[in-house]
Structure 1
Amino acid sequence: MQTNLSEQAKRLPRAEEAESILRSCVHCGFCNATCPTYQLLGDELDGPRGRIYLIKQVLEGHEVTAKTQQHLDRCLTCRNCETTCPSGVDYHNLLDIGRAVVDAAVPRPASDRILREGLRLLTPRPTLFKSLTQVGQVFRPLLPQTLKSKLPRTVRPAKARPAVTHARQVLMLEGCVQPGLSPNTNAAAARVLDKLGISVKPIQQAGCCGAVDYHLNAQEAGLERARRNIDAWLPALEAGAEAIVQTASGCGAFVKDYGHMLRHDPVYASKAARVSALTKDLVEVLRDEPVESLGADSDKRLAFHCPCTLQHAQKLGGAVEAVLGRIGFNLTSVPDSHLCCGSAGTYSLTQPQLSKQLRDNKMNALESSKPEVIVTANIGCQTHLDGAGRTPVRHWIELVEEALN
């Protein structure tokens, strides 16, 4: 695609990257065929091709309006279009660039600003988030349905974790909301890894991965969180830890992007590249281990929802299903498994109507073969889908761990 960036756009820190991405798009439209919002709304500007054209206009100096902002806001950043694109367009990075320019030009309404700042204030603070979640559970009967659906129907307390005893060690990003919404997930992962001879070494200094800040257009704040995590993890990596394991695929996708986002940072570029290279989703560790030897025993009928951050961002579609199959679980087929559930980080709060439509469509697909339990690999998807109040939704590693007892 031919581009002619304005003089102002040429001065942007990522101008060269934006121009390169725009030029790689051939405007074929294959991306629209797999875009969840285009399928729902049928508007060219609510599909990847239309959004790319909007960003091109913005960077070429055309007027930026609230409608431009709205169409970019409606994007889930599911990256399904990247999986579909025959030209390899790096859409999510172009969207980050475009959103930053548009938000700088178009002031948001006060209600929108308050919501976004509130999410940035609350979400990255696990202790505060967990406390508010517990208060919400106490007063659950008095809450409106919109708030009830954001709380887990069942909170399984975290069981004790094994001591660090094995020569093989990995680190684990604990996450921000998972300790409050599904506190046993990371503990279950640690116990399964322990049975395979791998210890999880705690790194208390590591915090939020930075994705919430970054995707709510506080990009520098998100990068600063990335730098703090890099500093927290590097000593343990240098001491021999094999990997940084993520049980939330959304966090994993973002940490794997540290190397790209900080590639021009003179202090952190090489450090970030190393951290990204050693970051693994939990399934990447387990698929290389003799999981058959765990002796799991389960006849539960499961439907697996593959989060967009796992299949489109990390390119690990089918990996969890393969591990669960090797262990012996009975997996159902799921039509349109490539489509987003509508969680998409904070999307279910910033775009509730579209998010609910996508969730209901996804639940219909997941329940089509009548599973006993739906499992997934991302806390956002898990909470969002379970909020429908239908078939229970859990993290897949908890089902694995339970099958070992």
Structure 2
Amino acid sequence: MMRTRPLKVALLGCGVVGSEVARIMTTHADDLAARIGAPVELAGVAVRRPDKVREGIPGELITTDATALVKRGDIDVIVEVIGGVEPARTLITTAFEHGASVVSANKALLAQDGATLYEAADQHGRDLYFEAAVAGAIPLIRPLRESLAGDKINRVMGIVNGTTNFILDAMDTSGAGYSEALDEATALGYAEADPTADVEGFDAAAKAAILAGIAFHTRVRLDDVYREGMTEVTAADFASAKRMGCTIKLLAICERAADGESVTARVHPAMIPLSHPLASVREAYNAVFVEAEAAGRLMFYGPGAGGSPTASAVLGDLVAVCRNRLNEATGPGESAYTQLPVSPMGEVVTRYHISLDVADKPGVLAQVATVFAEHGVSIDTVRQQGKDGEASLVVVTHRAPDAALSGTVEALRKLDTVRGVASIMRVEGE
């Protein structure tokens, strides 16, 4: 039987995502009520610009006082889509204190201070759901928290930013340079006027912190994630990747150490073989590859951003949280029992592609090979091209610690015969 008293929902933020959440709540009200077991009522919407026309939202629901809205006491669920750390953190913890559960899409806050939110939710016996914080419409957080809760996850690797994937895909397919591909992404609305958070990896790093924490049952903060942007990726890098049967993606990689005693989380551009499932992810799509001990390899794929896809994830969480409210229960909270340390980037072991500008004369290759050997980095392949006293040397290594590779590059730069290190890129997915 359906309960007749509606569950009251308050919305913090009414931009692209928030307005779509409100629209779906209104147009699919009957379906949502049937799925939840009670009707849901939009009881208030906190915004910064109250004079803006918001189609389908009654004016009496609009307020600029978000604090008063979360303190009302009659709100069952707060949906937070304003982003940023403050005032979102204070508003969410205040909502818990006044009896509301929370659905959030706030990756920055969860990555920087998720522990505070988890503790507040647990203290007040309320839910904190955040499917929309990582990969838009792609069901990912719930499978990691629930479907794979009985398994041991060893690795999570994925494309978690649509803007960067669109740019890199354009560079790969058209041969365009970075600037041209970014201009195209901006013109089509895939890139913001200031794309720094995307192209420098900040957005992906926040998502990596969230994924690593859930996958490995340990607290991983944004500061724990190694981050490297993609602005230095060139058409020459793509040409080298193609010669190796690879392409280039900006990847978020979270790994459990072989001995199980630590974890790593990192974001950087990398070459991956064309045979890897992530290599075929095109345009602004996202995909995350999960490796679990019992389940094996799983891949989650779909649109990772945008108003409608993100709203879909928010509404999925809203249905789950509302069901819990009806049953006077709560869903999964924080699982950080392992308390594993996060190892520094220097301990990460992978392969590398290094492109050097060198003098075109005898003995150069021997000098370069000696430097690699002295730092314990084994060479897999070497390709050399030279003309008129100028030469390029491309070295692909076997697996080695990142610290060893850094030491190698530093020593190479000191050689008189090495005129510059044109490119350094990790090789993943093999």
Q: TM-score under structure 2 normalisation?
A: 0.27
Q: TM-score under structure 1 normalisation?
A: 0.29
Greater strand proportion? 2
Greater helix proportion? 1
Which has the higher Rg, Structure 1 or Structure 2? 2
